[in-house]
Amino acid sequence: MLTPRWFDTLDEARTEDVRALLLAARATDGWPSITTTGPLPAEFAGGRHLLGYRGDELIGYAHLDTEGDAFGRQVIELIVHPEHRDQGHGSALLDVVMKAARTPGGTVRAWSHADHPDAAKLAVRAGFTRVRELLIMGAAASDLRLTEPTPPDGVRIRTFQPGKDEQAVVDVNARAFSWHPEQGAMTVDDLVAAEREDWFDADGFFLAERSGKLLGFHWTKVHPPGPERDSRPTGEVYVVGVDPAAQGTGLGTALTIAGLAYLREQGLPKVILYVEGDNPAAIAVYRKLGFDTESTAVQYES
């Protein structure tokens, strides 16, 4: 029998128990991006933690983002240990989480990062509707079909300067992603916090400006190797943001190519990216550059 227990914070011992569960899930599902040391992934920060035990063994974990996404919708992440699936534990955990998440007139979203059919069945039983698809695309760095970046006339591409460019990037990001559940809410404090992360690399953060005005950016990221993967890191097209006033000019493609060329120069074996499934224009650009869809993450809403 599953025993669920809520925690507002996780002590060191429980953090390591959750880490072990997430590592097991990654080995089976390819998600989440988790390291053997350090903090848990950002999607599990803050909020509330529901740990599901059978005896003393942690077999399930759910995280409830109580602050919610950019539109105030609370977001659920739920993982059952691969050795304990198909036994009703996911349903039991989701029932408990939903009782805590429900607010009058509010909506709740839940992720299925591998679009697993069992997750789809669970979502239907719980009254969720499939509302969003996020494609994970990948390419071998050596197979990328890159040309020289050609920004619009008068636009120059340079790299990010910490302590100088934060506000301009956040302003463009807010306009470019006003519709986005996560990215549109980025603040200067969020960006400064990212600059303190080990993975942050200002040389891989490209800005496009005309007459001193920022028009767009391409923020790349390099992921450290996971415990069950290739011993080399993986590059990512982390965020490409273009001010709506500059969209349709080819600037996004030029920025994307500049960042991809930089990642390839680092000797990385592979590059990945995430793109909304209802953005055919961006998907077409990425396919032209050599990317193929590797998996699909799904978000459900209730």
Q: Which domains does the chain have, with CATH numbers?
A: 3-127 (3.40.630.30), 137-296 (3.40.630.30)
Quote the pLDDT of residue 227.
Answer: 53
Distance between CA atoms of 207 and 156, rounded to whole angstroms? 8
Residue 78 has pLDDT above 90, yes or no: yes
- Check whether 241 is labelled as a binding-site residue: yes
pLDDT at position 171: 98
What predicted TM-score, i.e. pTM, was given to this entire model? 0.86
Would the annotation count 88 as a binding residue? no
**Angstrom distances, CA of residue 87 to CA of 2, 26, 80, 270:** 10, 20, 10, 37
Band of residue 209 on the pLDDT scale cut at 50, 70, 90: very high
Give the rounded percent of residues in the chain with a pLDDT score beyond 70.
Answer: 97
Tell me whether residue 183 is annotated as binding: no
228 is in an annotated binding site: no
For range 164-174, the mean pLDDT: 98
Average pLDDT on 141-167 reads 96
> pLDDT for 100-121, tens place per residue?
987 766 799 999 998 888 889 9
First to last CA, the chain: 27
Query: pLDDT category, 35, cuts 50, 70, 90?
Result: confident
Judge whether 233 and 223 are in contact, CB under 8 Å. yes
Identify the helix (H) or strand (E) that includes residue 12. Answer: helix 12-29
pLDDT band (50, 70, 90) for residue 33: confident
Q: Is 107 labelled a binding residue?
A: no
**Residue 141: DSSP 8-state:** G
User: Mean per-residue pLDDT for 270-274?
Assistant: 96
The per-residue pLDDT of the chain, averaged, comes to 93
Looking at residue 31, its pLDDT comes to 87
Amino acid at the residue 171: D
Nearest-angstrom CA–CA distance, 213 and 218: 15
Has 15 been labeled as part of a binding site? no
Q: What is the CA radius of gyration of the chain?
A: 20
| Residue 248 assigned ligand-binding role | yes
Q: 106 labelled as ligand-binding? A: no
138 annotated ligand binder: no
Q: For residue 278, what are its two tokens? A: 């209802």
Residue 146 counted as an annotated binding residue: no
